[in-house]
Amino acid sequence: MKYYYYRIAPAIAVLCFSLIMMASATAQTFSDDFQDGKIYLKFKDTESITYTVDEDNNVAISSVPVISRLASEYNITGLSRPFYINNDAKLLRTLMLEIADYQLIEQIIEKLKKDPALEYAEKVPLDKVSYLPNDSLYRLYNGPQNWNWHLELIQAELAWDITTGNPDVLVGIVDNAVWADHPDLAGKIVAQRDVIYGINSSNPPGTGDPGEWSHGTHVAGLVGGASDNNIGVASIGFNVNLIAVKAANNSTPRSISGGYQGIQWAANNGADVINMSWGGSNYSQTNQNIINTISAMGVVLIAAAGNDNVSAPHYPSAFQNVISVASIDYNDAKSNFSNYSTTIDISSPGGVASPGPSGVLSTTYSSGTMGNFDSYIGTSMASPVVAGVAALVLSMNPDLTPTEVENILKTTSDDISVQNPTYNGMLGAGRVNAFAAVTSTPFEPTAAFTTPVNIIVPGTAIDFESLATGVPSTWLWNFEGATPSTSSEVNPENIFYHEPGNYDVTLSVTNQFGISTLTLTDYIQVTTSPIPYVFITISDSVPCIAQTVILSDSSLYEPNSWAWIIEPSTFEYVNGTNATSQSPEVSFLMQGHYHVTLSATNQNGTGTRVYTNAINVSGIAPPYTLDLEDGTSGYFILWDSTKSQTAVDFRAANNSMKGLHFHGDPIPTGWKGHPTTGTPEQVWTENPTFMSEAYLCGVDARTFTNVKLAFDLRQTYSLGDKYSWFRVLVNGVPVSDFEGRTNFNPLTAGADPWQRVEFDLTPFAGLIFDVTLQACNRFSDKVQGEGDNVFVDNIEIVNSVSVNAPKSNEGISVFPNPATDMINIKLDGITQNSVAEIVNTRGKVVYRAMLQEGTTLHEIATHNLVPGLYLVRVMKNGTQILSAKVVLTER
């Protein structure tokens, strides 16, 4: 972390819906707030449970008496145990019931509640998104430190729910330099200029201290660093774009000698807002005139108030027509370095948080432990936060004048006078509040609305949802032919239509800035002979290659025939279903997005709906390489638990920028095992809350004869080497590398060197399989010395194997091959109990049996298996000791 109190030399400026069917006395409800047809039920902790769970965590309905009884009366489509990963006793007693009779969900819940074995039954909530960016450092976890305290303080996430910024709004960053090629700025800078040397580049000169040249880059990242791009930080301006101006001589990064030329260039090249995180103590009428001219052009000018902890004027922040920004800490108290004065207009986060960090995190030209990101402190950081909020305000209404933008920022700021009793009237109107600012921006509303369906039968009640923009304050609905005929609710519910006909719907929305009215003519069609209104449900919209997906018709108005179209055609129908089934089962053969079209027909006609990109199939075909340099984990899915952390970050890179990082928790209570005598078995079975994973599903090796997995690996430990563990699993089974290592543990005190590890996965060639990189670490990174870390970089899965691959186990064989009705596994005796398994090409275990100590021959009947390629494997202590491919032929 660096402290930047930029001091300026005198005279030189320095730096789904809801539908109620009322046919007869029955009501069918589709809810916006709960998942359709899904119920959680929890068995009491004292209740003895014996239900049967398969490997996919589906529960046999017949094994649960209360559900078995309901199955004879209701259309139950599924029963599962969804929360099993943590082995939590309560979650293992929690099941999810799925029913097709959506309208009967309350009735079923009431019956479940009467069963004495159950603690409760409840509908499954439908969670809706509140905007959070996915940038890797936005959710960076490092002990108790909150790296996004400045964004939380100004309610950025709530503001982003209103607007994430308009790319047409341009913010000028006039500073010492801006590194335009920074990974989190590239693509956001639409124009750049060096006003000292007259060239179209804002980049640092390439000489001198990179930290000194990072100031402008840090400022730029705070205003408009690329957000929601899986890497780096999120900026308050989010989607707004930048104009970058270098205004320092190549030999003096702390002196902004071309600042006023820079703001003029930015203004004349399209800037809507200009940030000036620099200044000095001397007044200049010329500079005031320049400011006046640029302000008259409609440009919002924002400047840092200075870092000298004095009340003396500081320019350009003290000029008229400039918004002057002081710095506050996490608790809204004035930062101990910040200037204070009656010329201050507003305050903003730029100081310290508690607990940590000191400063705010943003982009840098210099590189540290987090790569080209670091935490800086100063009014230089407070000012661009306000500039980003101003850009969001202009994104709501680009026609506002600079005075109107300033008034919005001030009148919506939070009062911080109580936190600063000795600075009354000296810290501006208050601390900037992004959410309040955008919701109070003068912007005429635009009426828009939707309903789950608009073709209904008489006696149906439907719900309406407002999609109006502009933050309306009132809503007035008119429903022709309905009861009630009007509503002032935001989202009216239970609007009944009794008679056939086509009816208009009108919505008028108002706020203090205007009114907007929308009428949709004949929008609601009430008919006694409706065609099917098509809805579908998909059992898994993000499956792996070869995984079975169920497409279920949920259409209204009782269709009796169906026609499915899936594009592209790289799929197959399975389990006896086809394109005319009501609920076909599909297996996808290639990764990528698939479109699904359903045409459903009843006696009145055919309804059709197209679901674009409805299914996104995951998986890879070797050769596959992943260098992690783009800040994402590629096709690997990252998972961590309550006391583990997983991320792609700069700490894990091997001679590169980024890598994969697993580590533990700053408060590691609950770890089972001794730091030096703990065992792998203990770690993997007794410390599930400390585990973390990178999971790759659907490695399609059907066309390959050999496969190798390789990657760079480094481990560290804090108080003991047995606190850091790592292993690789294929289809959930641990595998050994070429040197026979299954469980990896640090060997060097503190930190191991990087090593290249390789795994022969040839036994899985010809199959589709899954790979899991699994870590279990006690302490988090750097909490105790190095911390307990696992670093992985430069992953590859290729169709080649090193000549150092181990030889097959002698004396163990599988025959006959090919086979029809019987497979034999011949062993020269095994010294302890083991397991024999048969795995199909989709990675599913279709046979499993225990092999007792001393077994020499094991017979497996295969008459119930379909012809094809299978993997036969024998495992001891969870580790594979034999694998062989066997072909089963037609009988």
pLDDT score of 353: 85
DSSP 502-554: EEEEEEEEEETTEEEEEEEEEEEEE-SSPPPB--EEES-SS-BTT-EEEEEE-
Instruction: Band the pLDDT of 125: cuts 50, 70, 90.
Output: low
Q: Coil, helix or strand for 481?
A: coil
Give yes or no for residue 123 having a pLDDT over 90. no
Whether 380 sits among the annotated catalytic residues: the reply is yes
Burial class (CB in 10 A: 0-12, 13-18, 19+), 114: exposed
Give yes or no for residue 420 having a pLDDT over 80. yes
Burial class (CB in 10 A: 0-12, 13-18, 19+), 214: buried
The 10 Å Cβ neighbour count of residue 385 is: 31
pLDDT score of 15: 42
Q: Of 382, 386, 362, 277, which Cα lies nearest the Cα of 2?
A: 362
Number of H helices and E strands in the chain, helices first, is 12, 49
Q: Of 848, 849, 838, 845, which Cα lies nearest the Cα of 887?
A: 838
pLDDT score of 816: 85
Give yes or no for residue 17 having a pLDDT over 60. no
The 10 Å Cβ neighbour count of residue 759 is: 22
pLDDT score of 645: 85
Q: Each residue of 50-85: pLDDT tens digit?
A: 888 887 788 999 899 999 989 888 889 899 887 765
Give yes or no for residue 803 having a pLDDT over 50. no
Give yes or no for residue 845 having a pLDDT over 50. yes
φ/ψ of 213, rounded to 5, equals -90, 10
Mean pLDDT score, 395-422: 95
Share above pLDDT 90 across residues of the chain, in percent, rounded to a whole number: 55
pLDDT score of 657: 82
Give yes or no for residue 25 having a pLDDT over 50. no
Sign of the dihedral defined by the CA atoms of residues 162, 164, 170, 173, in that order? positive
Distance from chain centroid for Cα 408: 32
pLDDT score of 492: 96
Distance CA 770, CA 760 (A): 14
Q: Of 18, 36, 194, 215, which residue is the catalytic one?
A: 215
Give yes or no for residue 152 having a pLDDT over 80. yes
Structure tokens at 152: 């939380």
Q: Each residue of 709-753: pLDDT tens digit?
A: 999 999 999 988 999 999 999 998 999 998 889 999 998 888 899
Give yes or no for residue 604 having a pLDDT over 90. yes
Whether 311 sits among the annotated catalytic residues: the reply is no
Q: Of 395, 295, 409, 262, which Cα lies nearest the Cα of 348?
A: 409
Distance CA 226, CA 133 (A): 10
Mean pLDDT of the chain: 86
pLDDT score of 1: 30
Least confident of 143-152, 284-293, 642-651: 143-152
pLDDT score of 32: 57
Give yes or no for residue 672 having a pLDDT over 80. yes
pLDDT score of 863: 82
Give yes or no for residue 100 having a pLDDT over 90. no
Instruction: Band the pLDDT of 11: cuts 50, 70, 90.
Output: very low
Q: Of 293, 246, 425, 282, which Cα lies nearest the Cα of 347?
A: 425
pLDDT score of 368: 67
Q: Each residue of 505-545: pLDDT tens digit?
A: 999 999 888 999 999 999 999 999 999 999 999 999 889 88
Q: Of 235, 380, 555, 883, which residue is the catalytic one?
A: 380
Mean pLDDT score, 802-815: 53
Amino acid type, 64: V
Structure tokens at 749: 């005190």
DSSP 698-758: EEE-TT-S--EEEEEEEEE-SS-GGGEEEEEEETTEEE--TTS--SB---SSSBPPPEEEE
Mean pLDDT score, 355-365: 83
Mean pLDDT score, 571-583: 95
Distance from chain centroid for Cα 721: 32
What residues does 860 pair with on adjacent strands?
823
Give yes or no for residue 843 having a pLDDT over 70. no
- Is the bond preceding residue 402 a cis peptide, omega within 30 degrees? no
Mean pLDDT score, 1-8: 31
pLDDT score of 739: 86
Give yes or no for residue 141 having a pLDDT over 60. no
pLDDT score of 29: 38
Query: The tokens 């303080």 sit on which residue?
Result: 153
Whether 215 sits among the annotated catalytic residues: the reply is yes
Give yes or no for residue 5 having a pLDDT over 60. no
Give yes or no for residue 881 having a pLDDT over 50. yes
Q: Of 175, 332, 721, 760, which residue is the catalytic one?
A: 175
The residue ranges of DSSP E strands in 344-464, in sequence order, are: 346-349, 360-368, 371-376, 449-450, 455-456, 460-462
Contact 786, 716 (CB under 8 A): yes
Element (DSSP H or E) covering residue 382: helix 379-396
Instruction: Band the pLDDT of 230: cuts 50, 70, 90.
Output: low
Least confident of 18-27, 165-174, 188-197, 797-806: 18-27
Structure tokens at 306: 């200075």
Give yes or no for residue 301 having a pLDDT over 90. yes
